[in-house]
Amino acid sequence: MKQVEDDEILEKFSNERTRNEAFNLLISKYQEKIYWHVRRLVIDHDDADDLVQEVFIKVWKSLAKFRNDSKLYTWIYRIATNECITFLNKKKQRNQTPLNEVSDELSESLVASSYFNGDKIQMKLQQALLTLPEKQRLIFNMKYYDDLKYEEISAILGTSVGALKASFHIAVKKIEVFMLNDEISL
């Protein structure tokens, strides 16, 4: 199925009669990408499901005010990223636990999840990711899994390309060390 161009979606959305159609097209185009982006950050499927719906509610509310000074998908990614960070912060405050303990909690839900199909190496890679600071994990996911360019990530996170490169390289080195040094114990 041919992907609809963002410009077409935006044009249809600007028309009152075709607004719902445009939004359906937008959901169809981005729902999976946004879901996986969210899922890799919050790990749990149910949390990801709730957050994806919240993201698209925000997109629906704000799309009329969207200006073409950024790309549509970077704008949606930014909304999704902010929702995830807010969610993780709330989780931290609710449990009154420091961020590293939230990572432990995510790691536990990763092991206990019935919606995880990776082998031991994939599980270890996910656990290595959970040892990273939130922003490094975010950058690594977007670069490694979503294969986004530094310029695109920069547009999403509002961080300079240089800082992104540095963060990504640090993250990669940490993961490499984790993968090589720690024995696989699952």
Cα distance between residue 86 and residue 45, in whole Å: 17
Q: Does 182 bind another protein (CB under 8 A)?
A: no
Q: What are the tokens at 136?
A: 């490094």
**Other beta carbons within 10 Å of 28:** 13
User: Which residues touch 178 (CB under 8 Å, ≥6 apart)?
Assistant: 124, 127, 128, 131
Among 137, 143, 155, 156, binds another protein (CB under 8 A): 143
118 binds another protein (CB under 8 A): yes
Considering the rule CB under 8 A, would residue 37 count as an interface residue with another protein? no
- Treating both helix axes as pointing N-terminal to C-terminal, what angle do 150-157 and 161-181 enclose, rounded to 10 degrees? 110
Give the nearer residue to another protein in terms of CB position, either 38 or 88.
38
State in angstroms the smallest separation of the CB of 158 from another protein: 19
Q: Is 175 in the site for another protein (CB under 8 A)?
A: yes
Contact between 123 and another protein per CB under 8 A: yes
Cα–Cα distance for residue pair 130/99, rounded to 1 Å: 11
Nearer to another protein, 24 or 98 (CB): 24
Please report how close the Cβ of residue 35 comes to another protein at its closest, in angstroms.
Answer: 7
39 touches another protein by CB under 8 A: yes
The distance of closest approach from Cβ of residue 67 to another protein in the complex, given in angstroms and rounded to an integer, is 21
Q: CA-CA distance, 54 to 13, in Å (whole number)?
A: 19
Closer CB to another protein, 99 or 121, in the complex: 121
Does position 121 bind another protein by CB under 8 A?
yes
Q: What single letter denotes the amino acid at residue 56?
A: F
149: contact with another protein by CB under 8 A = yes
Cα 60 → chain centroid = 19
Of positions 1, 64, 112, 180, contacts another protein by CB under 8 A: 180
Q: Give the number of residues in contact with another protein, rule: CB under 8 A.
A: 46
Residue 9: partners with Cβ closer than 8 Å, 6 or more residues away:
22, 25, 26, 29, 72
Stretches 6-14, 34-42, 76-84, 89-97: which one binds another protein (CB under 8 A)?
34-42
